[in-house]
A and B are shown apart, each in its own frame.
Chain A
Amino acid sequence: MHNAALDPYAKPAPTVETIESIVGEYLHLEGPLLPILHALQESFGHIPEAAIPVIAQMLNIGRTEVHGVVTFYHDFREAPAGRHVIKLCQAEACQAVGAEAIGARALAKLGVDWHGTTPDGAVTVEPVYCLGLCACGPAALVDGKVVGRVDATKIDAILTEANA
């Protein structure tokens, strides 16, 4: 994930043409909106405000409807995340092996709350409810990579690496 504002290599703000060309690739699908939103977030790290009217127009639906879909789902961001996204499982099976303490430790070290991003834009930390790694919890997803049996040592190493 990318923080466009802070990354020196950040791409320029997406133009309407770029957005249109991404949206255009999915118009042939039945129910294209989620694939479109995933593709936009993949490209820009979030769903740019400017994309809402473009999508609405190209799918022939209302802007409020598009906005309603973007806000319904936990995955879609309206602002860019940090350069690294750490998702920590807080669901029951991971709780049974100490996930809450791992979460609390990460939040304390980063000085942010859940869903927060560190002021330097390095890390966003989010709770996630199950990664299917419930027999080797506490589980985490670090920039899309799975990590199991996260203990104090492992979470510290993950945070150190992400802050680097």
Chain B
Amino acid sequence: MKIYVPLDSAAKALGADEVAEAIRAEAGRRGLAVDIVRNGSRGMVWLEPLVEVDRGSGREAYGPVSVADVGALLDGTLPSHGTVEDIPFFARQTRLTFQRCGLVDPLDLDDYRAHGGLAGLYRAAAMTGAAIVEEVTASGLRGRGGAGFPTGIKWKTVLDAKAEQKYIVCNADEGDSGTFADRMIMEGDPFSLIEGMAIAGLGVGATKGYVYLRSEYPDAIDVMRAAVRIARREGVLGPNVAGSGRAFDMEIRVGAGAYVCGEETSLLNSLEGKRGTVRAKPPLPALEGFLGRPTVVNNVISLATVPVIFEKGAQAYADFGLGRSRGTVTLQIAGNVKRGGLFETAFGMSLGEAVEEIAGGTASGRPVKAVQVGGPLGAYMPREAFDTPLSYEDFDAKGGLIGHAGLVVFDDTTDMLKMARFAMEFCAIESCGKCTPCRIGAVRGVETIDRIARGDGAAAALLTDLCETMRDGSLCALGGFTPFPVMSALTHFPEDFTTVKEAAE
């Protein structure tokens, strides 16, 4: 009997380690031979710990499983969900990037191979750098870290740059509240990221890679470090990547708790051992990146999507999606939500469908008031915007952004003035300090919102001006986009800004 208990940190946070231990102990008492596999998460966080039992005829899913359920689980009397693939939340997805996450043992390279892993890398190993870059361009893949920049174009710039040494840097800083796709893939299918980085290295002619991984993810750091050691031992990394005759190796580097270090130039400074201040662009990191050398900086999901593009072909990937948003988006549904988790789907689903149908509305059972899309720099979308299709262009047109595709749901008890204040406060705490509109503007923003809260009617106009100054005068999107959550709250929920209330605090 094989029993799968996720090692994903969301599952652990809900008791997965204790459940795994209880299964081991109880099976021992009963003299049952059980093989416990610590897999990644299938992404249905409300069902975690989601335990799957394979008694020889497929994997049956149970969850949430508590320590008290373990006896019934082994008796076979615990009610099951059927297979994971039967659960509607899962059945409605198109899983490409996350095809293996939760299915395989994250640190078993044979298991990875048996589920389509390394097929892409072996294909790429037989291609020229230019052909690899062309394949990525043809897939239509755009950066999943926030800005949505076409990945193939970025790679082409690095490919064409002449230098002794080039780098692939993976941005695993995932600082946006409401996002956890990077964490899930690093914990649940780390080889897909390693494979994607190796393909990138072969493509642009880079022999060295770094993953800049936030310190808030201790479990992901452990899994990634172990996976890199295995990949090196098995020749996936090293002097002769997948028999290509070309070299690529990588290191895991740990961040130090600065949100701004998710911004690519700040990240590069941090990786070099400097303060994480933002660099002015140009020069582009693609030309003068890590240590001044040509560098691809890509998000975890962008890179972890590369293997499936090479496995199934660029066209197969591009066949999914809407307009210029090709392929799949890995939505992360979070906050006050009944069914939260990771939902991978072709671009184009409406925001309302994701929130109301897929996620089932709020956990509190109260009406949804707003959904913040795209992290702390993303807009608060009101119910009136629920028909907006999830695509880069449609969100842009609505004064928002998809960002890293986190959806944070709030119910009708939420005070939007407080959320706007938090956005300014967060910007003030995390500002790198390089430019005045951000460093000083965010502090003024908090003060101005406090004036509005005290009933100062004139302060709303001041806030609007201040947001314009921040938007137009900031060097990076921390100062430049903080106006999105602030102004969307003010515009869509004016009632929260008009009534006189006690000073927020």
For B271, the chain A residues whose CB sits under 8 A away are 31, 34
| Docked-complex contact B13 and A134, CB < 8 angstroms | no
Establish whether residues A69 and B408, one from each chain, have CB atoms under 8 Å apart when the complex forms.
no
Q: Which of B166-216 contact A (CB under 8 A)?
A: 174-180, 182-183, 208, 215-216
Q: Which of B233-289 contact A (CB under 8 A)?
A: 251, 253-259, 270-277
**From residue A25, how far is it (CB to closest CB) to chain B in Å?**
14
A161–B255 alpha-carbon span in the complex (Å) = 29
The B-contacting residues of A in range 28-43, CB under 8 angstroms, are 29-35, 37-38
- CB contacts (< 8 Å) of A93 on chain B: these are 177-178, 334-335, 406, 408
Please report the C-alpha to C-alpha distance between residue A74 and residue B261 in the assembled complex, in whole angstroms: 11
Q: Are B257 and A73 in contact (CB under 8 A)?
A: yes
B140 proximal to A (CB < 8 A): no
| A74: chain B residues within 8 A (beta carbon) | 256-258
A132 and B215 within 8 A (CB):
no
B48 A73 Cβ-Cβ under 8 A: no
CB under 8 Å from chain A, chain B span 422-471: 422, 426, 430
Q: Does A129 contact B177, Cβ atoms closer than 8 Å?
A: yes
One of A33, A59, A97, A132 near B9 (C-beta < 8 A):
A132
Q: Is B493 an interface residue (CB 8 A)?
A: no
Closest Cβ of chain B to A101, distance in Å, is 12
Quote the shortest CB–CB distance from A62 to chain B (angstroms): 12
Q: Which of A112-145 contact B (CB under 8 A)?
A: 128-137, 139, 141, 144-145
Whether A146 touches B372, Cβ cut-off 8 Å, given contacts A130-B176, A135-B333, is no
Query: Of all chain A residues, which has the CB nearest B180?
Result: A132
Q: Identify the interface centre among A34, A37, A129: most chain B CB within 10 Å of its CB.
A: A34
Residues of chain A contacted by B414 (CB below 8 angstroms): 96
Q: Is the CB of B175 within 8 A of A34?
A: no
Stretch at the interface among B55-63, B93-101, B336-344: B336-344
Cβ of A98 to closest chain B Cβ, rounded Å: 9
Known: A92-B419, A96-B414. A128 touches B14 (CB 8 A): no
| Nearest chain A CB to B193 CB, angstrom units | 15
A35 and B177: CB pair below 8 A? no
A63 within 8 A of B: no
Q: Which of B268-314 contact A (CB under 8 A)?
A: 270-277, 290-291
- Determine if A73 and B258 form an interchain contact, defined as CB atoms under 8 angstroms apart: yes
The one of B256, B363, B411 that contacts A73, using a Cβ cutoff of 8 Å: B256
- Once the chains bind, are B253 and A133 in contact (CB under 8 Å)? no
B276, closest chain A residue (CB)? A72
Given A30-B291, A93-B408, A96-B410: A132 touches B216 (CB 8 Å cut-off): yes
Known contacts being A92-B335, A93-B408, A146-B13, is A37 close to B256, with CB within 8 Å? yes
Report B416 CB to chain A, min CB distance, Å.
12
B272 touches A91 (CB 8 A): no
Contact present for A75 and B408 (CB under 8 Å)? no
Select from chain B the residue with minimum beta-carbon distance to A32: B273
> With the chains together, A130 CA to B340 CA distance in Å?
16
Q: Are B276 and A73 in contact (CB under 8 A)?
A: yes
A141 CA to B12 CA in the complex, in Å? Answer: 11
CB distance from B478 to the nearest CB of A (A): 13
Indicate if the CB atoms of A136 and B257 lie closer than 8 Å: no
Asked if B45 is an interface residue, CB under 8 A from chain A, the answer is yes
Interface residue? B332 (CB, 8 A):
yes
Given contacts A139-B13, A141-B216, A146-B12, contact A96 B48 (CB under 8 A): no
Q: Using an 8 Å CB-CB cutoff, how does the interface string of A77-116 with B read, 1 for contact, 0 for none?
A: 0000000000000011111110000000000000000000
Verify if A53 is at the interface (C-beta below 8 Å from B): no
- In angstroms, Cα B272 to Cα A31, docked, is 4
Collect the chain A residues with CB atoms within 8 Å of residue B426's CB: 91, 129
Chain B residue numbers with a CB within 8 Å of A75 are 215, 255-257
- Of B216, B257, B291, most buried by chain A (CB within 10 Å of CB) is B216
A130's contact among B10, B175, B258, B341, by CB below 8 Å, is which? B175
Contact residues in B for A135 (Cβ distance below 8 Å): 10, 45-46, 180, 332-334, 337, 340-341
**C-alpha spacing A89/B12, complex, angstroms:** 16
A-B pairs with lowest CB-CB distance, top 8: A33-B273, A135-B340, A148-B13, A91-B177, A73-B256, A134-B334, A96-B335, A74-B257
| Known interface pairs A68-B275, A92-B419; 7 further A-B residue pairs with C-beta atoms within 8 A, sorted by A's residue number | A31-B291, A38-B215, A75-B256, A75-B257, A76-B256, A133-B10, A134-B332
